[in-house]
Amino acid sequence: MNEPSSDVDTRDRMLLQRMAAGDRAALETLYRAYHGGLTRFLSRLTRRADLIEEIVNDCFWIAWRKADSFHGDSRVSTWIMGIAYRCGLKALRQRGDEPVDDYALREGHGPSHDPDEDRELRDWLGEGLKHLSADQRIVVELVYGVGNSLDEVAAIMQAPVGTVKARLFHARIKLRNVLPALAGDAPAQRENRS
């Protein structure tokens, strides 16, 4: 899902067609293909693993039931991400959780002593995302993490393109102001040192 292509979308459309006919194996394949990406996407809304699992399952429950209603107006990934986004917001509303507070309270990333570069990147990212609203985090995730276009993000969030563009702009401004300080040293220096 991170590298969307026409091949991937063709595969996904075939899986949806099979799901519409009641093919559970197709459901299992699609579930496994999207689980990682959806989990990461939803982790921008909440850090609760149990809630993320529930939202992913709600999403695929709907996808299973509505597979025959997918008419190919968008990529399958856009359709599924849109369902997941709405399920995520609904789940948080039902629990009275605020995505922003939930994220900020549970992120809990302090300075990492883990030498692993991935861990360091996650810490850096986690601290930076704390400064964004939930909507801004979602837009950043979809554009930078998933690789969606503005039109696709607008379809997923069911928001006007202009609104998405504004969210992305403000998110980038905030990140531009906080990320360098969080990095501690410049990326170029880090590369030279390693």
Q: 134-193: which residues touch another protein (CB under 8 A)?
A: 140-141, 143-145, 147, 149, 168, 170, 172-173, 175-176, 179-180, 183, 186-188
Nearest-approach distance from CB 43 to another protein, in angstroms: 4
Q: Does 86 engage in binding with another protein (CB under 8 A)?
A: no
State the Cα angle at 49 between 75 and 115, rounded to 5°: 95
Selected range binding another protein among 6-14, 74-82, 86-94, 118-126, rule: CB under 8 A: 118-126
Distance (Å) of CA 53 to CA 8, 64, 95, 183: 24, 16, 15, 31
State the Cα angle at 105 between 174 and 89, rounded to 5°: 80
State the Cα angle at 82 between 63 and 177, rounded to 5°: 150
9, 11, 13, 20: which one binds another protein (CB under 8 A): 20
Selected range binding another protein among 6-14, 24-32, 73-81, 97-105, rule: CB under 8 A: 24-32
